[in-house]
């Protein structure tokens, strides 16, 4: 009977987890903007509190400060959109020209060295691949430009949510804690956990954002110096993809390398761009990030990759960007709640959960029974 009850409880847990995953996937249009808004509100809450306290701006002051930041973001977004439109007109022709050059060079090599025909692809295959990739790129860029409206609407929704969260943060925090915590002690514990999660995630986000902005500016300056087209959008792309561990760095370096290759058709120029990007990322990964962030969230590599795969599948690009903050929150909660300490240890590099106490060891041993016939000293 106990075994059946245990299996029933385990089945309920599995079904609950699957239900949560299904809800996250099906409601991503709603939940992803809310998650973004919470992350941004967490980042900007100290700034909003500072202006409320020092300058007595009140809610409208917070709104004014945030709208100024939004205007700067809109300006960068407009420049990026302009570059995307320009890319939609130039990149397909660059790919076609690159395919023609590769096909011509392979033809020359085969003519001069017929023995290389066995290992080299057919020139016609290169031409067909160039035509196919050109058509595919035109289609993808057209779809991307068509999605700009949806991205703009989603960005506006996120901005509105962040504004309301910043204005009503104190009131909402108190009400949420009172809703979930029924006793004063549980309310204090919940607030302590919330403060710890918010503080650590905010420190990570601010440090990561500043580092990524620096990386984006350096990459953009390097690409501009090397004469690569779309230097500023590619720098912004490198800054955004740097939020995504491992996978993002590969994408952030592949894009300028391929664009340089398509622009000039020179493999040497593409390798110079790749070397510049690798140098920037090496300085970031081995010097800047360890000095600024230390061990930061203390998540092991396996956890990071699994989190990126999971949230990328659930929410796409938004999930990849939010994977680290969400995983950090889960890990901090597991580290704070004693019953979940083992999960925090599984996710971290250095954290060790406290050993469980052995109930048998804490139970005092029963006194040994006296053999029959032995005097007890009581008359």
233 vs 84: CA distance, rounded Å? 8
63-73: average pLDDT = 65
- Between 203 and 366, residue with greater pLDDT: 203
Q: How far apart are CA 337 and CA 355, in angstroms?
A: 14
pLDDT level of residue 16 (50, 70, 90 thresholds): confident
Give the 3-state secondary structure percentages of the chain, helix then strand then coil, rounded to 5: 85, 0, 15
pLDDT, position 124: 63
Q: Side-chain half-sphere of 179: how many Cα atoms within 13 Å?
A: 6
Structural element, H or E, at residue 67: helix 58-112
Q: Rounded CA gap, 293 and 297, in Å?
A: 9
CB neighbourhood size of 106 (10 A): 19
- Per-residue burial over 49-65, b if 16 or more Cβ lie within 10 Å, else e, is eebbeeeebeeeebbeb
Of 359 and 269, the structure prediction assigns the larger pLDDT to 269
Lowest-pLDDT choice from 134-148, 153-167, 233-247:
134-148
Concatenating the DSSP letter of every residue in 186-224 gives HHHHHHHHHHHHHHHHHHHHHHHHHHHHHHHHHHHHHHH
Residues 212, 288 contacting (CB under 8 angstroms):
no
Mean predicted lDDT score pLDDT of the chain: 75
- Which pLDDT does position 301 carry in this prediction? 80
Name the residue among 66, 72, 73 with its Cα closest to residue 166.
Answer: 66
Whole-model pTM: value is 0.68
List, for residues 157-180, the tens digit of each pLDDT value: 887 788 788 777 777 877 877 777
Structure tokens belonging to residue 318: 């938004």
Measure the CA–CA gap between 84 and 78, rounded to whole angstroms: 10
Please write the tens of the pLDDT for every residue from 18-49: 888 888 888 888 888 888 888 888 888 777 77
For residue 147, the model assigns a pLDDT of 59
User: pLDDT tens digits, residue range 91-136?
Assistant: 666 666 666 666 666 677 677 777 766 666 666 665 565 556 555 5
Residue 51 structure tokens: 């202006």
Which of 326, 318, 26, 314 has the alpha carbon at shortest distance from 147? 318
Angle, to 10 degrees, between the axis of helix 184-225 and the axis of helix 169-180?
A: 130
Q: Residues near 97 by Cβ (< 8 Å), separated by ≥ 6?
A: 262, 265
Query: How many CA atoms, within 13 angstroms, populate the side-chain half-sphere of residue 332?
Result: 21
Q: Residue 218's pLDDT is what?
A: 93
Percent of the chain with pLDDT over 90: 5
Residue 267 has pLDDT above 60, yes or no: yes
Q: What is the pLDDT of residue 362?
A: 44
Give the residue, 47 or 371, on which the prediction is more confident.
47
pLDDT at 219: 92
Asked if pLDDT for residue 198 goes beyond 70, the answer is yes
Token couple for 317: 């690009």
Phi, psi dihedral angles at 38 (to 5 degrees): -65, -40
What is the pLDDT, as a whole number, of residue 360?
46
Q: Which helix (H) or strand (E) holds 152?
A: helix 148-167
pLDDT value at 89 more than 50: yes
- In angstroms, the CA 205 to CA 42 distance is 9
For the ranges 8-17, 94-103, 136-145, which has the lowest average pLDDT? 136-145
pLDDT digits (tens, 9 = 90+) for 288-347: 877 776 666 678 888 888 888 898 889 888 888 888 888 888 888 888 777 888 888 888
Does the pLDDT of residue 277 top 80, yes or no? Answer: yes
**Residues 340, 342, 348, CA angle at the centre, nearest 5°?**
110
Q: Is residue 142 very low, low, confident or very high in pLDDT (cuts 50, 70, 90)?
A: low
Place of tokens 């902005």: 213
* pLDDT of 77: 63
| 374 φ, ψ (degrees, to nearest 5) | -90, 135
Token pair belonging to 153: 């609407």
Determine contact, residues 256/270, Cβ cutoff 8 Å. no
CA contacts within 13 A on the Cβ side of 186: 8
Model pLDDT, residue 12: 81
Q: Determine the straight-line distance between the first and last CA of the chain, rounded to whole angstroms.
A: 51
Longest dimension (CA), the chain: 120
- Whether the per-residue pLDDT at 378 is higher than 50: the answer is no
When mean pLDDT is compared over 19-23, 67-71, 255-259, 262-266, the highest value belongs to 19-23
Q: Once rounded to an integer, what is the mean pLDDT over residues 210-224? A: 91
């Amino acid at each position: 009977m106990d075994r059946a009850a245990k299996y029933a409880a385990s089945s309920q847990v599995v079904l609950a987890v699957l239900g949560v995953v299904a809800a996250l996937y099906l409601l991503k249009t709603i939940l992803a903007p809310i998650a973004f808004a919470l992350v941004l509100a967490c980042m900007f809450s100290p700034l909003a509190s500072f202006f409320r306290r020092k300058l007595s701006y009140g809610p409208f002051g917070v709104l004014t400060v945030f709208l100024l930041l939004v205007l700067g973001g809109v300006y960068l977004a407009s420049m990026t959109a302009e570059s995307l439109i320009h890319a939609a007109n130039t990149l397909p022709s660059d790919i076609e020209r690159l395919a023609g050059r590769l096909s011509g060079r392979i033809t020359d090599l085969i003519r001069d060295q017929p023995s290389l025909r066995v290992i080299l692809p057919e020139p016609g295959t290169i031409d067909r691949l160039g035509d196919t990739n050109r058509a595919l790129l035109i289609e993808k860029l057209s779809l991307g430009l068509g999605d700009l409206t949806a991205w703009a609407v989603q960005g506006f929704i996120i901005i509105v949510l962040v504004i309301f969260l910043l204005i009503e943060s104190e009131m909402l925090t108190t009400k949420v804690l009172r809703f979930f915590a029924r006793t004063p002690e549980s309310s204090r514990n919940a607030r302590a956990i919330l403060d710890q999660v918010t503080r650590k995630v905010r420190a990570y986000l601010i440090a990561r954002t500043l580092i990524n902005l620096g990386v984006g500016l350096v990459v953009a300056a390097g690409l501009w110096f090397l004469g690569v087209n779309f230097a500023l959008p590619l720098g912004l792309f490198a800054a955004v993809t740097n939020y995504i561990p491992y996978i993002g760095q590969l994408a952030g370096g592949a894009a300028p390398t391929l664009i340089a290759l398509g622009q000039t058709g020179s493999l040497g120029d593409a390798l110079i761009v790749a070397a510049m990007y690798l140098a920037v990322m090496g300085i970031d990964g081995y010097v800047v990030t360890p000095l600024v962030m230390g061990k930061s969230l203390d998540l092991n590599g396996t956890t990071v990759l699994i989190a990126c795969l999971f949230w990328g599948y659930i929410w796409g690009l938004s999930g990849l960007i939010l994977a680290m903050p969400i995983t950090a929150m889960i890990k901090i909660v597991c580290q704070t709640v004693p019953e979940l300490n083992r999960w925090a240890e599984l996710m971290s590099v250095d954290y060790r959960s406290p050993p469980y106490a052995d109930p048998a060891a804490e139970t005092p041993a029963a006194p040994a029974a006296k053999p029959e016939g032995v005097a007890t000293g009581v008359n």
